[in-house]
Amino acid sequence: MFVDAETIRLLWPEIILIAMASWIYIAGAFQPHRVWWTCFSLAVYGVVAYVLLGTESTMWSAETALVGISGPLRIDFLGFILRCFAVLVGILFTLIGARGSSRQLTSEFLATVMLLVAGLMLVARANDMVLLFVSLEMISIPTYVLLYLGRRDRANSEATIKYFFLSILSSGLFLYGLSFLYGIAGTTTLVGMMGQESVQAAAAGFVQEGGELYQAMAPIALVLLMAGLGFKIAAVPFHFYAPDVYQGCSNANAGLLAVAPKIAGVVAILRLLVVAMPWAADIGWQLAIVLAVLTMTIGNVCALWQTNLRRLMAYSSIAHAGYMLIGISVAFAFHEGTSASGGIGATLFYLLVYACASLGTFAVLVALGSKESEVSGLNELAGLAGQRPALAAALAVFMFSLAGIPPLAGFWGKLTLFSSAVNTATATADNASFAAWFTLLAVAGALNAAIAAAYYLRVVAKMYFRPAQGDLPANGGLGAQAAVVVCVVLVLGLGLFPRIAVQVTHLAEAAVAPVDPGSLSAAAAPLPRLAGDVQGSDDASWDR
């Protein structure tokens, strides 16, 4: 186990972000300057990336994916790659949204984004209920501020208030679920070392006196926690806020809502529900399957009739949460004794490709607008290919990726998820009921992907096959255009060379894969071998 000084050293990136955010808040009040503070913020992210890579890159070799547990922190490869991704998300948010804020509030916007990124990085490492809750609130509270700093009109104010009150409700449900979980486990530690009390090891208490009471409390805890985190990822039936809030806020803030809370929610589900609560897997995989099918179907079907772009992307975000729940259900099923695996890796890979395409889409919308007007209606994109061919081509790439059209990144993301469900059904062929659930899940996912293609291709058709109705200003700034370029490169790169990203996410899964609490130790754990195909077949399995 690391000493306290080592723990602090591993938190240097978050400490730098929080310190620099505080400095920007104070100094920006005396010297409001959009360009200078934007460049300063980008430099801070560069320093944080350098410190992060310099501090931890040497830890991850061909032999270790898990270094250890230091108090409330879990030091593993999953946390490392998610922290790197959080820094990238911070850079993209800074580029996309800085120009949209007023000159007087630019410093507040940039500093608040830094705090949000620090919250994302802490969620990636949280190994304690208290730290996890505080980290999630470090994402929610900056989000309220960022929504308020968007457009100063009635629609934006209504969206902010609606998101604020519903987010408070979800936090209350999540905290109530944590109280049940603490009552079961008797500790706030999620995963412990050998002989250490933890939530994961609480399964041993079920065979002791009072175990039946604990077993009765486990479903209550699981449902409450899933409800609280379901709001973060906009899963049905906790999705109802998303369409109205997305439509009412700015394009930049809609991109924030589509990505940041979803990253935090998915990671929290994996850390807290899948890994730390193996004793809830018997109902967890069934709950996840039901939510996945409902979320995919409602999100995609409702998106078919949308004419407002942000509202369409809200339902798209809901549908993609359903796809991610496929991987989560597979990860839960692994606790039930199946020989299939890959659910966590498939979920992480899909989260990566979704975030890149979704951020890129909103970056294009920001680039097409101006400070005075934003692109909102689908008809406003008519004839865009003739007016702004580069931005139209970029938006088409993002739409094709979200639709899952090969060879873009979204195709490989859907393929890994659907393959994980099929592999689970195959591995449990001797259990007809179990196999039927996951066969149905894979079929539902494929049908929903076909439905989703209709409204994504409708956007492309508007740009390329409809006459222009007016000239778009395309005065969103160089920052938004730079973010578009970065996202296009990521989507194309992940599509043409998916193997590297798939291997990296499989490494992350090996670090948090379900293990026997009695055998878990802080010693180095073997990494999975890198020879795995994209489809996630049995040849891609790894030694645990």
* Domain annotation covers residue 543: no
Radius of gyration of the chain (CA): 22
Final residue of a domain: which of 276, 295, 323? 276
- Residues 455, 387 within the same domain: yes
- Residues 271, 288 within the same domain: no
pLDDT of residue 513: 61
Give the distance from CA 169 to its chain's centroid: 20
- Residues 253, 297 within the same domain: no
- Residues 395, 452 within the same domain: yes
pLDDT of residue 341: 67
- The residue behind tokens 């099923």 is 333
CA angle (271, 276, 277) in 5-degree steps = 120
- Residues 100, 206 within the same domain: yes
Token pair listed for 159: 């969206």
- Residues 397, 474 within the same domain: yes
* Domain annotation covers residue 529: no
* Domain annotation covers residue 156: yes
What does the alpha-carbon distance between residue 404 and residue 392 come to, in Å, rounded to a whole number? 18
- Residues 207, 298 within the same domain: no
- Residues 475, 489 within the same domain: yes
pLDDT of residue 399: 95
* Domain annotation covers residue 445: yes
- Residues 286, 235 within the same domain: no
- Residues 237, 251 within the same domain: yes
CB 199 within 8 A of CB 277: yes
pLDDT of residue 66: 57
pLDDT of residue 204: 58
pLDDT of residue 280: 76
- Residues 254, 320 within the same domain: no
* Domain annotation covers residue 537: no
* Domain annotation covers residue 172: yes
Which residue range(s) make up the domain with 460? 280-509
Final residue of a domain: which of 256, 276, 296? 276
Token pair listed for 199: 């939530």
* Domain annotation covers residue 535: no
Total count of domains within the chain: 2
The 10 Å CB-count burial string (b at 16+, else e) for 433-460 is ebbebbbebbebbeebbebbbebbebbb
Final residue of a domain: which of 276, 311, 337? 276
**Is the omega angle on the peptide bond into residue 237 within 30 degrees of 0, that is, cis?**
yes
What element of type H or E holds 73?
Answer: strand 73-76
pLDDT in tens, the chain (544 residues): 444 666 777 788 999 999 999 999 998 888 877 788 888 999 999 999 998 888 776 666 544 555 566 678 888 888 889 999 999 999 999 998 777 655 667 888 899 999 999 999 999 988 889 999 999 999 999 999 998 887 777 888 888 898 999 999 999 999 999 998 888 888 888 877 555 677 777 665 554 545 566 667 788 888 999 999 999 999 989 888 899 999 988 888 999 999 999 999 999 998 888 888 877 777 888 899 999 999 999 999 999 999 999 999 999 999 999 999 999 998 888 765 554 567 888 999 999 999 999 999 999 999 988 777 788 888 888 888 888 899 999 999 999 999 999 889 999 999 999 998 888 888 766 677 778 888 899 999 999 999 999 999 999 999 999 887 777 777 778 888 999 999 999 999 999 998 888 888 888 887 776 443 333 333 333 333 333 333 333 333 333 3
What does the alpha-carbon distance between residue 428 and residue 256 come to, in Å, rounded to a whole number? 39
* Domain annotation covers residue 432: yes
- Residues 115, 260 within the same domain: yes
